[in-house]
Structure 1
């Protein structure tokens, strides 16, 4: 099936793989294996301009809710732009009290020994501390990809403290769109962080908590999963992809960045 020259696949009633949306980018790169969430604010299939659901474009169907639940509340992110117009002018933004929660959990085991996962996102960074995705809550156990003190970090908390604080040596650009990504393979003790196309490979080991520890019930975007440490006012979210059981390579992360830079032309 074709629409405006974009190849599409109908799966489970949801349109997939538009050439210009984020999922289409990942498909074209052959990076849709293991994908458990792919959302794009500019794709009408992902967000039609109204409603409480930021819909997953991947076959997994793991949506996000605007705000703290499936119902409208004060934590709802604001949609800006025109539905169906992909690019830097269509996004969700925070007023300092907003975030997204998972409609279906995908980060349940990422904090455990042998964690294996990847995340890629396009965010507008204000220059202040920003949680990008997190499974960590009040129990102080979980993982989070965040910019803290001007540094892109993958952090893992094991319930007793910080078990991993992997850091990218570069500096995110404030008041601008930034591409941030991670590929974590705990068993191989490797964490690949990508910031605006620049890759850094650092030690990524955290042997506790063990693989038998309880799973995390739910994750969040733009905050901890209990609504704490909310992204500051002015933060924007345009695209987010998450993989479970896959640690993307440096070449993979660079390829995703290059695709995004074609559309988000102000990326550093």
Structure 2
């Protein structure tokens, strides 16, 4: 079999255009003048021919004045009848991977193109097709399992970031003292969260001002004196039954507030301020 299905290398190719193939039924050289010819079809509904020039691994097909349909028809008859003519030298298409068609002619001779296809174009054996399908199936199944594996891994690290960056560390630092201006008892609590790498992530401060006199508590509350003891962005709450004014602060600019983001430096800062810090475990 001297035929082959070959991709058309169209330099006018446009994006979105379907790739075109041709069924090349044979290529030959006419020994008397060394002219080369090729016979092919796009969809086995019509036959075409042209003069042939081979450049690297590509067929370049064109027409010239010397193209003779008689030679083409004689070569076709030889293929269909199984004869051979010493004037024709069959050109191997084994290394050909593409074809460039500059110009072409139509073969008007009535030919059974399907028979020509059967005689010249190698067909894959049923076992080869089955093996290819099995290979594609294996690749497809492997691809699915690989994709699922990637999804599972990504999901695992998304929901368990501590595997990569380490588990967060949490501390509570507190202290108690008597306020020299308000003459109240103050309980301060600072909750600190550090990353697994020892960098500050969050800090929440809660101050409880506990009064021992109803009159002083009500005056502080009703006259708006409490505004002096809170900052912008803080939230507050009055607990009347305990005569307590509670202020809660969430420190946003941690670096500016602490002048450091390291765990050791921040804990040292609170220890120097007479806070008692302890590490707590969160489930």
TM score, norm. by length of structure 2? 0.18
Question: Greater relative contact order: 1 or 2 (C-alpha under 8 angstroms, separation 6 or more)?
Answer: 1
Structure with greater Cα Rg: 2
Going by fraction, where is helix more abundant, 1 or 2? 2
Going by fraction, where is strand more abundant, 1 or 2? 1
